[in-house]
Amino acid sequence: MISIALENVSKSYQADTPVVKNVDLDIEPGEFVVIVGPSGCGKSTMMRMIAGLERISSGTLRIGGKVANDIPPQHRDIAMVFQNYALYPHLTVAENIGFSLEMRGVSKTERLRRVEVVAHLLQLSDYLHKKPKDLSGGQRQRVAMGRAIARDAKTYLMDEPLSNLDAELRSSMRAEIKHLHRQLKATMIYVTHDQVEALTLADRIAVMNKGVLLQFDTPEKIYDDPASLFVAGFIGSPPMNFIEANCKEGIVQTTKEGTRIPITCPPELEGEDVVVGLRPENGVLSAGDKRMAIEFRGEVMLIETTGSNRNIHAKTATGPLLIVAPRSAAIGLGDNVSIGYNTEDAFLFEKKTGKRIHLS
C-alpha cells in the first residue's frame, strides 16, 4: 500500500491547450479512487501520468512520498489494466499472466505457482494454454486483470477495464474488482466514464471535466453534496433535473405559470440567473394536492418502466421534468400531474459559474 499525490499537475501537448489543468489529488494508501468524467476530460491522461506513460508538463507527482516525475514506468511498481487489455497476442494466457514476473527475474517454478494461483482466483485455470485470440471478451479482461495482479504491485491502475464488456458481465466484474481490492489491500486508481461504476466501486471519486478536477470526495458526499452544476448533472441516474430561474427580492423565481420554487436566495445573487437542481428520485407525484413546498404542474409525456420503478417524463412550463415514481403510482400518458419537492431536496447553482450555492 502506498500513497499517491498530485500537486498542481498539468499536462499540455501543445502550448496554451492543457488537457489536465492544475490538478491536486491526494490518494491515501490502500484507497480505491475512481476518476470519472466524460470522454476527453483528461482522466486517462492523468492516469497515464501516474503510470509514467506520459510526461508531466508541470507540477509534482509523489508516489509513497517521493517525487516520481522522472521515474520510468518499469520502476514505479505500478501495475496497469488497459482499456483494450493490451494482451500479448503471441503469448499464451499463462505467459501473459507470468510476463511481469519473468521481467522481474522470478524463477520459473515460482512463476508457474503464482500464475496458477491467479488463474484460479480469476477462473482462468482451463485457459492457461490458449492464446488471447481464442478467448471471449470477458476472459481477455480477466487475463488483463490477472497480468496486473500476478505480481504484488503497490498500486494498480485500471483504465476503463470494463468498457468492452456487456452489461451482465460488467456487473459481475465490478463485484470481482471490489473483492480483489479487499483481498490485495493495494491502492487502486480506476478510470471510467460510467458513474454507476464510480459510485459502486470507489472509496472516493474524483470528478473531472475539461481537464479540471471538480470534486474529490466519497460517493455519498458527491451524490448528496455536489460542488458544481456539472458534478450534480454527471453523478446520479437518471440525471438531475435543472430549472433555470432568477433571484429576485431574495427569492428564486420563475416567470412560468404553475411553478413555485420558494427558495431563499443569498443577497449577493440578487438579480442573478440561477439553476435549481432536483433529483428525479426525490420528486413526489401528487395529483392536484399542494402539500409540497416546490411545485410544478405538467402533463405526462412518457413513462419508462425500469422494473421496480417507473420514470415519468412530464412537460411543465419550465421545461421537461423527470421523476422516479413507484410502479404502483396510478398514472397514465397525458395525465395532468403536480410534481412536488421539499425545499431541502433542492440544489441551487449560480448559472454563470456553475458553482453550488449552499442554502441555509
Partner 1 sequence: MNTSGVLLRTTAVAVGLLFLSPLLYGIWISLQTANGFFSGNGEMTLQNYVDAVEKMNFLRYLFNSLIVSGGVTILSLATSIMAAYAFSRFEFRGRDLIFGLVVATLMIPGHITLIPNYLNFAKVGLLDTYAGLILPAVANGFATFFLRQYFRGIPRSLDEAAWMDGANAWKVLYRVIIPMSKPAIYAMGLFIFLGEWNSYVWPLIATDSPDMLTLQIGLARLYKMDAQEGLVNWPLVMAAATLTMLPVLLGFALVERHLVRGISMGAIK
Alpha-carbon distance of 115 to 225, in angstroms, equals: 44
Beta partners for 217? 205
Q: At closest approach, how far in Å is the CB of 122 from partner 1?
A: 17
251-254 contact pairs (CB < 8 A, 24+): 252/276, 252/348, 254/317, 254/318
Alpha-carbon distance of 117 to 120, in angstroms, equals: 5
**Helix (H/G/I), strand (E/B), else coil: 354:** coil
| 55-84 positions binding partner 1, by CB under 8 A | 72-74, 78-80, 82, 84
**Considering only residues 53, 212, 331, 359, which one is a binding residue for partner 1 as defined by CB under 8 A?**
53
Amino acid identity, residue 198? A
Q: At closest approach, how far in Å is the CB of 259 from partner 1?
A: 51
Nearer to partner 1, 93 or 274 (CB): 93
Helices (H), the chain: 43-51, 93-103, 108-121, 137-149, 167-184, 195-201, 219-224, 229-234
Contact region with partner 1 (CB under 8 A), list: 16-24, 50-58, 177-185, 187-195? 50-58
| 130-149 positions binding partner 1, by CB under 8 A | 147
Nearer to partner 1, 78 or 321 (CB): 78
Residue 14 binds to partner 1 (criterion: CB under 8 A): no
Q: At closest approach, how far in Å is the CB of 99 from partner 1?
A: 5
**Considering only residues 10, 44, 45, 100, which one is a binding residue for partner 1 as defined by CB under 8 A?**
100
**Helix (H/G/I), strand (E/B), else coil: 345:** helix
Q: At closest approach, how far in Å is the CB of 153 from partner 1?
A: 9
Residue 332 binds to partner 1 (criterion: CB under 8 A): no
Q: At closest approach, how far in Å is the CB of 176 from partner 1?
A: 21
Helices (H), 122-188: 137-149, 167-184
Q: What residues line the site for partner 1 (CB under 8 A)?
A: 51-53, 72-74, 78-80, 82, 84, 86-90, 99-100, 103-104, 147, 151
